[in-house]
Structure 1
Amino acid sequence: MSTAVLFDRYGDPGELYVTDVPVPRPAPGEVVVRYTAIGVNPIDWKVLRGDARALLPLALPGACLGVEAAGVVVEVGEGVRRFEVGDAVIRHGRPGTFRVHEAVAASQEADELTAQPGRFSAEQAAVLPVAAGTAYSALRQTGLRAGELLLVHGASGGVGLAAVQLARLMGAEVVGTASARHHDLLRSLGATPVEYGDGLLDALDRWSFDATVDCAGGPQPTEAALRAVDRAERRVTIVPDAAAQGRGVPFLDHVPLELAATLDLIGHRPFALPVSARFPLSRAAEALALGLKGGTGGKIVLIPGE
């Protein structure tokens, strides 16, 4: 048997429960992965509350959260040539990683598994897909180039921190908005921090920006994006907001094979996302509750087997 964290109805983290389930067997074209670290993201509590049911419909009861994880292939189904038993992989995409074992489509076309580079620990690999992948697509959407100046709103969140680092790897300069307690971190990553709140718009006027990525959402980042960057195609937000889109801040469009492209950009150069909290898989409800409070300053990770 294996362990999974499931829920039977939409609601708050209290709906999650830990249960034993059979270890899956791979169908043709699938592999079974045993997870070693699992990322926790805002999309998880949105799915749990039912906010994302139109985008990510789930079969209830017995649905499973989790859209990113790192693990090891433990069984290979018929026809699979891309992975072998013992391969370290990163799982990303549809919900279902809040468990120890999962059968996952192995083809590149399915885009649910990517080989884990040896330079990343399991924890770092597990938190790459959502934050780094989203940031990569956002930067590509703006057409960011070396030597340009990028404005990142919400630069201290997971996607924001990834956007800062990836933009620097692309040769761009970065100004990031964040609360004062995160400014030292942003400076250490090569960004110039600016504090949220009153006076932000005037403070940003000292720079001439080429592109902007909004990782926070809301009226002020939207207004700042419009004021800082003239061309709509050089603005993007990762937050779906009809008001922002109506005013000319386009919503994110993910690129194909997003994680693989992100890893190609990173290569062997410095890149890391801070992990602010770790929980055993059995305490997934506590992890989600912490994430709902916000302001953790890093990613939250579940560790199976602890």
Structure 2
Amino acid sequence: MGQPVIIQIENIYYPILAIVGLPANLVTIIIFSRGRCGLSKCITRYLVAMAAADLMVMIFELIMYEIHDAYFPYSFLNYTPICSLNLALYYYFIDCSVWLTVAFTFDRFVAICCQTLQTKYCTERTAVVVIAVICFLSILENIPIYFVFEPREIIDNVPWCCYVKSSFYTSPTWIAFLWLETIITPFAPFVLIMLLNALTIKHIVLANRVRRSLRANNNGEKHTDVEMESRRKSIILLLAISGNFILLWMVNFIVFTYVQFTDTQFMEANYYDSFTIAELSGDMLRSLSACTNTFIYAVSQGKFREELKNVIKLPHALFTNLIK
């Protein structure tokens, strides 16, 4: 009997995603680190940190877990202690990526809607502090995950693979931890991002309506409104990033909600079960969110496209100079 269809899809999907996503995130880090995209240092810090977190998600989730498990079973990475550490790091970087997206959304909300707070909060120093705090708290949050797993089998006294402990779903401590984990990611980010986006859009719509009214009364003069254009670009970037997050995390969000209010468990081995298929599909979409931001920047930011072309041409220029 062949592999289930969902596993066959994963075995093709994840390598392709890694081939595209790894260089995409690397290029994004390089481009934004050069600081030539016309963005503030504050925004640049967040975007670089988000790309770095997404890059690490792809390494630990796609390469060291999904691809490795499919094509290189029973290597040293399958020893239970190493496997548990890899999964803890995998969830750690997912949390970092998610909460950095929330932090970026909040930063843009402050910049657009809170003019009095903008000068104090929307600074490079604040961005660095926020990023450091998110990384530190994510470490604390994910330390218990290392202890969630037990060996799936023991061969010659060597523990192999990772299997969720049965007590994880019955112990009051682990149940409380699962609820906390679910609230922190993805419930709270979903609510915060949607709320902040709604408030930001409302503020921009009202502000633009006032400015259009003032301009209409300004003797009918027609000239480019620099501030409105700046707001338009900011909202496009903000909605593209946060909207992408919400769309690609939606299935995962529904799965987490379903588990909390039913007797269903994560990581069931029945790959023909509808819930398992939904869970794995949600994981694939969530993984996709770790490599789509580069393409969002390329579509929405003209200067990013220019820098991207320069980075692509760089190897050719170096090779030409070497030959000369």
Whether TM exceeds 0.5 here: the answer is no
The TM-score normalised by the length of structure 2 is: 0.26
Greater RCO (CA < 8 Å, at least 6 residues apart): 2
**Greater Rg, structure 1 or structure 2?**
2
The TM-score normalised by the length of structure 1 is: 0.27
Structure (1 or 2) with the greater strand fraction: 1
Structure (1 or 2) with the greater helix fraction: 2
